[in-house]
Amino acid sequence: MESDLRAGEGRGDRLYGGAPLHARRRDQRERIVAAARSVIAVNGYGNASIDEIVAKARVSRTSFYRFFGGKEECMLVLFEEAMSELADAFTHAAGAEAPDERIRLGVEGIVAGLGANPETARVVLIEAVGATPEVERARSEARRRFARLLTAEMRRYEGWRDRPETEVELISLALIAGLAEVVAEMVAGEEPGDWRDLVPPLTRFAMRALTPQAVPQAPRLR
């Protein structure tokens, strides 16, 4: 895909519709991605058709297949782009000095990154579930990716440093899943709420979950 976008970068004298080829193709790809996000959010992954996507993007089917091998590959791009933006927000939060501020910024980054764009939230939190085996693998890897980021953050807290690795990983996964589930419930409702209303209670929830001093280590079941 990137090679297609760069195909015309060395030929700035060749114009198509008044724009260089590489700029025209980049614009086409962006329109296709935006159209696919909208169509899948409204119709669902199973009912979304490439014909409807290209019609909404105002491009040809040939243009669609220039960038994507099919609907699944397009869905994977939508998912990965959203996850990359969330990872950037998480990284930004980890740069804060105060622990409470890191938690607040982390929660706000995840909730805002999804809740502020209902189409994106519906695609990655609802329509991606069970879409295809490959998309499911991407979802699983994304959960573990964010859990690893959160695990590294938790190890900065003295109370978590000596906790078993499995416990830290499970808490990380549970917290990430909990935040995503709340946002999914909001965007799936008949009257979607304002994501800003979720930040204060979810921040308090995250602070309790990430404060090991308040929770004794559970005994191992026999």
Note the pLDDT tens digit of each residue in 180-193.
888 888 887 766 67
What pLDDT does 12 receive?
A: 47
Task: Assess whether pLDDT exceeds 50 at residue 3.
Answer: no
Homologous superfamily in CATH for domain 2-69: Homeodomain-like (1.10.10.60)
Burial 83-96 (b: 16+ CB within 10 A, else e): beebbebbeebbee
- Continuous segment of H or E residues that includes residue 20: strand 19-20
Homologous superfamily in CATH for domain 72-213: Tetracycline Repressor, domain 2 (1.10.357.10)
What pLDDT does 191 receive?
A: 65
> pTM for this structure?
0.79
Tell me the C-alpha to C-alpha distance, in Å, between residue 84 and each of 25, 54, 140: 22, 25, 15
Phi/psi for 6 (5° steps) reads: -90, -5
Chain-wide mean pLDDT for the chain? 84
What pLDDT does 11 receive?
A: 47
Domain boundaries, the chain: 2-69, 72-213
Q: pLDDT band at residue 146, thresholds of 50, 70 and 90?
A: confident
Task: Assess whether pLDDT exceeds 60 at residue 4.
Answer: no
What pLDDT does 2 receive?
A: 47
Q: pLDDT band at residue 132, thresholds of 50, 70 and 90?
A: very high
The span from the CA of 63 to the CA of 67, in Å, is 7
What's the whole-number mean pLDDT along residues 140-153? Answer: 88
